[in-house]
Each structure stands twice: as C-alpha cells, then as structure tokens.
Amino acid sequence: MKALSLRELEAEAQRRLEPGAYDLFAGGADDEVTLRANENAFARLGLVPRVLRGRGRPQLETTLLGCRTSMPIVIAPTAFHRLAHPDGERATARAAAAAGAIMTVSMASTTAIEEIAEASAGGTLWFQLYLQPDLGFTEALIRRVEAAGCKALVVTVDSPVFGRRERDLRNGFTDLPSGLCCENMRPAGPGGTRGPARPIAFSEALSWEHIDWLRKSTSLPLVLKGLVHPADAKMALERGVDAVLVSNHGGRQLDTIPATLELLPPIAEAIGGRLPILLDGGIRRGTDIVKALALGANAVAIGRPVLWGLAAEGEAGVAHVLETLRSELERAMALCGCGSASDVGPELLHVSRWEKQCRTS
Ligand SMILES: Cc1cc2nc3c(=O)[nH]c(=O)nc-3n(C[C@H](O)[C@H](O)[C@H](O)COP(=O)(O)O)c2cc1C
Ligand SMILES: CCCCC(=O)C(=O)O
C-alpha cells in the first residue's frame, strides 16, 4: 500500500533503513529542540479560509531565479542519497525532472554532479556549496557545476563548524560505508581522472568578503541558505545576492534556533519584496506550504521527506513525495479559496486572542 502521507512514508523508510542511517537522516543537533520546533510551529498556526471566491483550480506554476517550476516546492540539498537507496541522487534527479521540480544537489552528494545532470536529462538543478577555504578548489568546483548545467548556487552559511549530532555519536556513525564518498570533493587528476575525495571543510573564517568573491567568480544566481536574522537579510540585500533561503538546517546546526516559520515575518519585512525568499524546515503537508507563503515565502524546500521517499522506493518514492505535496498544496489552496499564490496572504492566518494580547501588552 502506498503511504497516504509523508509521515507514513517516514515510518516505511524507518522500517527499511539501517537504524544508524535512519538516525543520521532523521536526527538533529544537541537536544533536537529546533528539529521539533520546525514541525510544531506549523501545527500551532491555524488557517482561516475564505469561501465563495470562485477562483477555479489553483495554479501552482512559478518561476524562481529564472527557472520555471511546476510548483513552489524545491528539493533541499541533503547529503548521501546512496545511503538511502542504491540509485541515490540519480533517482532523486529523475523524479524531480519528471515532476518539473527543481532539485538542489548537495555538495556532499554520493554521485558526481555530472552524473546527476545526465540522469536529470534537462530537469533544473541547483548546486549547494560549502565555501571551502581553499578558494582554488572552490573555483574549480564552481566551473564543474557550471559546465554540468546547474542554474544556481545555493551557498550554505549556517555551518562555520559542524553541529553536534548525538545520535550519530551514540551510533558510532562517523564515516560513510566503504564504496561511498562525496564525489564532488574529488579534485581533477591527470588525464581526466579524479583523485580521492577530500573532507568537506567547515570554516569559522568565512565572511561577507567571501560572498563578494563568489559574486565575482560566477554569473550564476546566488542563494544564501541558512539566514535566520533580519540584520543578515539586510546584509544579503546589500551584497547583491539573488535570493535567501530561511533555514536552520533542519535543526542540525545550532540547537534552540526557533522554528523557521516563526523567523520568517521579520525577514520578509527586511527584504521588503526585493528578493525571492525560500523557507525550509518541517514542511510535511500542503497546509504547511500555504502558511509559509502567507507569511512571505515565495517557495519552500523539503529535506528529509525526499530521503524517506528514496529509502522507501527509490525514484518512485521521491515521485510519490512530490506528487503527495503537490496535490495537498492544490487542495489546501482550493479549500482556502485561493486560485494562485497571489491569493495567499496573512488574512488566512489565525492570530489567537492571547497572542494579540501578548503583542499589545
Ligand atoms: C540528512 C540530511 C543531510 C543534509 N545535508 C545538507 C547538505 O549537504 N547541505 C546543506 O546545505 N544542507 C543539508 N541539510 C539541510 C537541508 O538542506 C534542509 O535545510 C533541512 O533538511 C530542511 O528541513 P526538513 O528536513 O525538515 O525539510 C541536510 C539535512 C538532512 C536531514
Ligand atoms: C559533510 C556533510 C554535511 C551534510 C550536512 O549538511 C548535514 O548532515 O546536515
């Protein structure tokens, strides 16, 4: 039987995965406060629909950074797809392309970007980058990514150091199993060969100057991933980036960051419509997407659900995730009286009486 919801799909994936791999995908940092907060925030915010607006079937197509997409749902970068399923990132890319959705390939993919691009066969790929202190290596990787046809660089800025994931420490999960590696981290060797994969470096020295350097190093649009402070959103505007992705890394980096949904309104205010805003963290239902759009996001990104689909059924599982969320979003918009994203606004959100009182007192 096909999973009816993304939550059912997670249960199916958990049955299929080694416990250590499940924990690696499911887990967060420290006490996992942020991990839980992301999903809970959606449940706490109510929707108050409009009726009798006669808007017809909701239209979900949209354009992000010049890329057409069938719906405002992007695949967030997640590492190690071949740990979820032997077909790995190729399967994800095929499912995304068939659904007309954008896939963000992780720098820590277990399949090389060129092979993912081949599997994607004309689908839209973005590439996620951890800026490496070795700028020569970073630049060579950017050239690789451009040559493979990726349409944007998603630069992750929330990881000056790696978060502490206690499930992995408890499970002794420190390395990928033999035969798997971060294929994009293999520098070019002589005669078209590739050397052994380098470890991904996390650097506390990264600064806005590196973003300026990146801006000059590529003509690809730049998305900053992992912004949660409105002051940083203003900096992003000044530095000429092309979009921001409001993210707390799915609760895997700094624990106790509030839910991304709660952090979105001040960021949307700071950006003031001048850049597209994406949000990730805890999106599991079509109604979650309506809430993110109502608070100012142009699109959302999904991380773990894609891994659950992949683990459960490979390409067909990822296709099922995308189709489930697409149809849930369409139904939720119809039930809210919305014919397109432009109908989705804060008037649909329920601000409880006690919240109003807290704000005014
Ligand atoms: C297993 C796993 C691996 C991840 N790998 C990366 C990564 O390589 N690069 C990155 O920027 N974010 C990575 N993320 C964070 C996701 O891009 C995204 O921010 C997060 O998963 C969104 O939350 P969700 O899983 O609740 O949808 C990873 C998340 C998970 C769960
Ligand atoms: C070295 C791979 C990093 C993947 C990542 O970002 C995550 O697990 O959250």
DSSP per residue over 88-124, as a string? HHHHHHHHHHHHT--EEEPTT-SS-HHHHHHHHTT--
pLDDT at 355: 74
ipTM of this predicted structure? 0.99
Q: What is the pLDDT of residue 1?
A: 59
Across the range 88-101, mean pLDDT stands at: 99
CA separation for the pair 291, 349 (Å, rounded): 7
Cα separation, 322 vs 237, whole angstroms: 31
Across 285-316, b (16+ Cβ under 10 Å) vs e yields: bbbbbbbbbbbbbbbbbbbbbbbbbbbbbbbe
**Ligand 1 pocket: which of 89, 109, 132, 252 to mutate (most atoms <8 Å of CB)?**
252
pLDDT tens digits along 209-225? 999 999 999 999 999 99
- pLDDT tens for 251-260 read 999 999 999 9
Nearest alpha carbon, ligand 1 atom 4: 78
Mutation probe of ligand 1 site: the residue of 89, 113, 249, 288 with most atoms within 8 A of C-beta: 249
Average of per-residue pLDDT values in the chain: 97
* Mean pLDDT, residues 331-360: 90
Range of weakest confidence among 67-76, 139-148, 187-196, 278-287: 187-196
How many angstroms separate the CA atoms of 73 and 301, rounded? Answer: 6
Nearest to 149 by CA among 120, 182, 188: 120
Catalytic, 249? Answer yes
Domains of the chain: 6-185+195-360 (3.20.20.70)
Q: Is the dihedral of CA 70, 344, 302, 146 positive or negative?
A: positive
Ligand 1 nearest-atom number relative to CA 24: 1
Ligand 2: residue whose CA is nearest its atom 9: 252
Does the pLDDT at position 358 exceed 80? no
For the stretch 269-300, pLDDT in tens is: 999 999 999 999 999 999 999 999 999 999 99
Retrieve residue 110's tokens. Answer: 């277990």
128 vs 359, more confident: 128
Mean pLDDT within 113-132 = 98
Q: What is the pLDDT at residue 360?
A: 73
Tell me the mean pLDDT in the region 19-43. Answer: 98
